[in-house]
Amino acid sequence: MKKTKVIVGLGSCGIAAGASKTYSALEEILAKGEMDFELARTSCIGMCYKEPLVEIQDEKGKIIYGDMTAEAVEGILKSHLLDGKIDLERAVVAEEQKTPEDSFFEGQVKIALRNCGYMDPESFDEALERDAYKAIKTLIAENKSSMDIIQTMIDSGLRGRGGGGFPTGLKWKFAYQNESDQKYIICNADEGDPGAFMDRSLLEGDPHAVLEGMMIGGYTIGASQGVIYCRAEYPLAIKRLNIAINQAKAKGLLGEKLFGSDFSFDIYVKEGAGAFVCGEETALIASIEGKRGMPRKRPPFPAVSGLWAKPTNINNVETWANVPWIINHGAEAYAAYGTEKSKGTKVFALTGKIKHGGLVEVPMGVTINDIIFKLGGGIQGDKKFKAVQLGGPSGGCIPAELGDTIVDYDSVNATGAIMGSGGMVVMDESTCMIDLAKFFLNFTQEESCGKCTFCRVGTKRMLEMLERITEGKGEDGDIEKLENLAHQIKNNSLCGLGQTAPNPVLTTLKYFRHEYEAHIYDKKCPAKVCKPLLTYTIDPEKCTGCTVCAVKCPTNAIDGSRKQIHSINQETCIHCGECYNVCKFEAVMVD
């Protein structure tokens, strides 16, 4: 009889939701001896909105329960193991049985995320069981030529998943063709977009796939050294990466003369300090070399002169994770997914005003609406979908009326946004688009390295204009000034940070110009977000005279005695909204 196995999702999202306490509670239950099971761990399966997740594997099959707090886990476990009852209300995955959460997985195709949530990321044996290092071993055993491997990558249609979308095979070809006594492979794990966590989850859930992808890249271009540049804010990812590296070294899968061949390859992790600009490849290289992370002019490109002035190939985490699968299954199998110019699958992080926040992997060519409403479950509170920010601070806002846009590089670019690394921040009708543009521009302005005048000063001037507009101090001509300055910054900045920093402003101007005009000319915020533009009044028919609003008002702007109708003095009101927040009778109105 198969022994019952209980598995806890211990990715960063699970731990943040209390999964470590759940795991400890299960250890205590096991110690009591009332129930016999094997306790194990895994990473995130993408269903972050239902964390903590606990999977039970027994003769009934595989059942995954959601919202499994330390307080709830014992009751569910007893019901399942001792009484033989499956709680389908709490189950998010149940083999051969429907659950309320099935729609989250329908339409997903997991290639990059194939192992995340399905194995213990710290177990080398489980990684081997799921074909880790099979691809590199096959390539070496068959003595595959570099050009054969490069052609496989070209035929697969894999494009860089870090944002630019450059064909991976061509990038490898350039690095291969440049002869040198030393070459380097770099994994760009400096994921810094607000709302993005694709790379973090991959590194936490399947570090061996990334290591093997880098090994294949090194074998192909003739590199013997790999570097993973990962921001220090990802401690769990770094921990599991180092565990995986040490395991591979101990088994002879990293180091000298691998698999009895002349190929030698080693990898180490370089921790970044969190500068967003270091996501740009030349700034990243400078940081690895111990210099200040600032971009440099190209050419020469890293394929010619990269790390330590040697030929270097850089891809991001998701790109490397796809490589072993393509080698194992063939270019045609990968190219069978996606569109003509955007092959394969793409991982997206769903955040914002969406019901099912988490990580999904879908074939290129699905629509934005498919991702948001079928996988994401729609908008929180069933409010109206307004827009989605795609591509992070370097991307742009795509309005709801373009929700049928298919997700591929060309179609997304045509909207004014970019695919980026895969962050999707969803917005509803309560989002002020100018406030959102201000948020992203503030981020890029603070993260500018300062090398370019247009990026350093131009983004600051744009931000000042947005701040004035949201404070009710916008002036006639501000829109034109914003557009002109945005194009100047795009055309004159050195690197991708400056060239794309104005995108959130330009796309909100393109699709939500009426909101800018309302702020500037009517001194109103249609979404009722920008407090200096709001007017608070009290509905005399709903006011009970409870005085709570008057007590909480920091400027004593509310007049009225107890059990008498109150009113707000507009001259002393500072628009803080405290009266609106504390009123239990919905008597305070906002206009």
Mean pLDDT, range 467-480, rounded to an integer: 96
End-to-end CA distance of the chain: 67
Residue where the block lists tokens 């009751």: 75
Using CA atoms, how far apart are residues 320 and 220, in angstroms rounded to an integer? 13
Sign (positive or negative) of CA dihedral 460, 465, 469, 473: positive
Strands 345-352 and 358-363: antiparallel
Integer-rounded Cα radius of gyration of the chain: 27
Using CA atoms, how far apart are residues 233 and 124, in angstroms rounded to an integer? 25
Closest by CA to 112, choosing from 357, 347, 316, 349, is: 347
HSE (side-chain half, CA atoms, 13 Å) at 554: 6
Closest by CA to 276, choosing from 117, 440, 429, is: 440
Using CA atoms, how far apart are residues 558 and 577, in angstroms rounded to an integer? 12
Helices (H), 256-297: 281-288
Mean pLDDT, range 461-476, rounded to an integer: 96
3-state secondary structure 398-436: EEHHHCCCECCHHHHHHCCCCCCCCEEEEEECCCCHHHH
pTM: 0.94
**Integer angstrom CA distances of residue 199 from 112, 113, 238, 347, 560:** 10, 10, 12, 9, 56
Please answer whether residues 262 and 462 qualify as being in contact, where contact means their C-beta atoms are separated by less than 8 angstroms: no
pLDDT at 186 over 80: yes
Closest by CA to 201, choosing from 141, 129, 288, 112, is: 112
Angle of CA points 156, 392, 234, to nearest 5°:
85
What pLDDT does 34 receive? 87
What top-level class would CATH report for the domain 534-590?
alpha beta
Tens-digit pLDDT profile for residues 125-153: 999 999 999 999 999 999 999 999 999 99
Query: How many residues would you count in the chain?
Result: 591
HSE (side-chain half, CA atoms, 13 Å) at 467: 8
Query: According to the CATH classification, is domain 433-522 in 3.10.580.10?
Result: no
At the second CATH level, the architecture of 5-101 is 3-Layer(aba) Sandwich (3.40)
What pLDDT does 60 receive? 79
pLDDT at 345 over 70: yes
Mean pLDDT, range 4-23, rounded to an integer: 97
Tens-digit pLDDT profile for residues 411-450: 999 999 998 889 999 999 999 999 999 999 999 999 999 9
Classified as helix, coil or strand, 508 is: helix
Q: What does the block give as tokens for 417?
A: 């946004």
What pLDDT does 10 receive? 98
What pLDDT does 1 receive? 56
pLDDT at 288 over 80: yes
What pLDDT does 84 receive? 87
Domain ranges for the chain: 5-101, 124-335, 345-428, 433-522, 534-590
pLDDT at 582 over 90: yes
pLDDT at 470 over 80: yes
What pLDDT does 75 receive? 94
What pLDDT does 167 receive? 97
CATH of 124-335, one of 3.40.470.10, 3.40.1390.30, 3.30.1950.10, 3.40.50.11540: 3.40.50.11540
Residue 330 has phi, psi (to 5 degrees) of 100, 150
Using CA atoms, how far apart are residues 210 and 198, in angstroms rounded to an integer? 13
Mean pLDDT, range 106-129, rounded to an integer: 97
Q: What does the block give as tokens for 219?
A: 């074998």
Using CA atoms, how far apart are residues 99 and 92, in angstroms rounded to an integer? 6
CATH code for the structural domain at 345-428: 3.10.20.600
